[in-house]
Copies of this chain bind each other. A is one copy, B any other.
């Protein structure tokens, strides 16, 4: 597997575009399309929030019941959540317009929305946007980048990625784009994440792979503990690479799995590191836990702790807050028999062991906390299970962005 240039339209047969449709923002791209020349099998995971946005309900139906999908239409600025029956009608209209112009069935059009909850979509602009997208869509790398920019809300950078791998001499490619920022505490998957591939793979196999992989990737990040109403992660596979079908239990399956995991983990970490107002990515790795479940609880508790996040923002080696977060995680461990390390790009410091702090240098510890990636390693010495979670620091800008967001 190797990382290649490009993003969502890197795999064969995929086109993309991002255009200005004036949904909410001015002078920026705010609608995107991903289109496959051939029908795709599609796998998806969605928010576990009881309050599901209309496009989430729409996509869930397609993933479950449609024989294939062929396009994704995304708008930013308005989430189309908390919009009742009218919200579903917007999805129906969007699919109708896109299907007609693209010459595909309505139930092959997936829809994504992100932005303010409760506002109504301006359907006239959405319709104009779809027309622009249909004529702008292309295989060019720039068009994929445009799409990844068009799905941003308070994200500060676009997030695209592509990898290729050889499957029995045939090159298979995966591409991805995601957006995150606030209301990020995925509990199935993230705000909006899209992966394309030209691999030939069945819907069942792809779905199984995706559902397993999100548990260790998108479900292990948090910006603010708020699980969105719009979380959607979709993988579309059009089979145009011409590989022999990928089947479970083969070496090719493992290679494809590794590539998909790399895509999902990288994109998830990017969402965490670019959380609203964030200065730093926080990683917490827990090793030697008694169960995988407990390793995850411990790691996630640390990266969700507001006090730990604020201490990282202040470059303050206040390890007591990490210990405290481990302690209320609900997972088993012995605070008198565990070790906590701070790790940076070129150093690892033992901070806590045998029930109390070590004689570490505050100055050196503060330096590690000033890096763009702050890493905590927790060894609980109980078994062989490990897990990693990712979050970001809590800053003035998080408060500023979210006190002002709608205005």
Q: Are B335 and A50 in contact (CB under 8 A)?
A: yes
Cβ–Cβ < 8 Å partners of A316 in chain B: 403-407
CB 8 Å contact bits of A73-117 with B (1 = contact, 0 = none): 000000101111111000000000000000000000000000011
**Given contact pairs A225-B306, A325-B226, A407-B316, A396 touches B402 in the complex (Cβ within 8 A):** no
A48 to B331 CA separation, bound complex (whole angstroms): 12
A190 within 8 Å of B by Cβ?
no
Cross-interface CB contact of A399 among B52, B185, B313, cutoff 8 Å: B313
Stretch from A124-132, A156-164, A247-255, A349-357 that touches the partner: A349-357
A394 within 8 Å of B by Cβ?
yes
A318 to B82 CA separation, bound complex (whole angstroms): 11
Q: Which residue of B lies closest to A230 (CB)?
A: B324
Q: Are B324 and A51 in contact (CB under 8 A)?
A: yes
A328 within 8 Å of B by Cβ?
yes
Cross-interface CB contact of A82 among B51, B228, B357, cutoff 8 Å: B357
A327 within 8 Å of B by Cβ?
yes
Interface size on A, residues (CB 8 A): 67
- What are 6 A-B residue pairs whose CB atoms fall within 8 Å in the complex? A82-B319, A118-B320, A227-B327, A229-B324, A307-B402, A399-B399
Q: Are A324 and B117 in contact (CB under 8 A)?
A: yes
Cβ–Cβ < 8 Å partners of A85 in chain B: 355
A311 within 8 Å of B by Cβ?
yes
Cβ–Cβ < 8 Å partners of A187 in chain B: 328
Q: Are B318 and A405 in contact (CB under 8 A)?
A: yes
A280 within 8 Å of B by Cβ?
no
Q: Are B82 and A307 in contact (CB under 8 A)?
A: no
Q: Are B403 and A399 in contact (CB under 8 A)?
A: no
A369 to B182 CA separation, bound complex (whole angstroms): 21
